[in-house]
Amino acid sequence: MDLVKEIQKLKKEKNAIILAHYYQRPEIQEIADFVGDSYYLSKIGKDCDEQTIVFCGVKFMAESAKILSPQKTVLLPAYDAGCPMADMAVSEDVLKLKKEHPNAKIVCYINSTTEVKAVSDVCCTSSNAVKIIQNIDADEIIFLPDKNLGSYIQEQVPEKKMILWSGYCITHRRISLEEIKKAKDSIEDLIILAHPECEKEVRDIADFVGSTLEIINYATSSEKTNFLIGTEEGILHELKKRNPNKKFYTPRGGIMCVNMKKTVLIDVYNALLKNQHEIHVNEDIRVKAYESLMKMHILGR
38 contacts which partner out of ligand 13P, ligand SF4, none, CB within 5 to 8 A by kind? ligand 13P
Q: Which of 91, 112, 126, 263 binds ligand 13P (CB under 6 A)?
A: 126
Q: Does 148 bind ligand 13P (CB under 6 A)?
A: no
Q: Does 63 bind ligand 13P (CB under 6 A)?
A: no
Stretch that binds ligand 13P, among 95-103, 120-128, 236-244, 271-279 (CB under 6 A): 120-128
165 contacts which partner out of ligand SF4, ligand 13P, none, CB within 5 to 8 A by kind? none
DSSP symbols for the chain: --HHHHHHHHHHHTTEEEEEETTS-HHHHHH-SEEE-HHHHHHHHHH---SEEEEES-HHHHHHHHHH-TTSEEE-SSTT---TTGGG--HHHHHHHHHHSTTPEEEEESSS-HHHHHT-SEEE-TTTHHHHHHHSS-SEEEEESBHHHHHHHHHH-TTSEEEE--B--TTGGG--HHHHHHHHHHSTTEEEEE-TTS-HHHHHH-SEE--HHHHHHHHHH-S--EEEEES-GGGHHHHHHH-TTSEEE-GGG----TTTT---HHHHHHHHHHTTTB----HHHHHHHHHHHHHHHHHT-
Stretch that binds ligand 13P, among 31-39, 64-72, 154-162, 264-272 (CB under 6 A): 31-39
Site residues (CB under 6 A) for ligand SF4, limited to 255-294: 257, 259-260
Q: Does 127 bind ligand SF4 (CB under 6 A)?
A: no
Q: Residue 195 annotated as binding? A: yes
CB 255 within 8 A of CB 172: yes
Rounded CA separation 191/281 (Å): 42
Min dist CB 8 to ligand SF4, Å, is 27
Q: Residue 123 annotated as binding? A: no
212 contacts which partner out of ligand 13P, ligand SF4, none, CB within 5 to 8 A by kind? ligand 13P
125 contacts which partner out of ligand 13P, ligand SF4, none, CB within 5 to 8 A by kind? ligand 13P
Q: Does 116 bind ligand SF4 (CB under 6 A)?
A: no
Q: Does 112 bind ligand 13P (CB under 6 A)?
A: no
Min dist CB 255 to ligand SF4, Å, is 9
- Which residues contribute to the site for ligand SF4 (CB under 6 A)? 58, 83-85, 111, 169-171, 197, 232, 257, 259-260
- Which residues contribute to the site for ligand 13P (CB under 6 A)? 22, 37-39, 83, 111, 125-127, 195, 197, 211-212
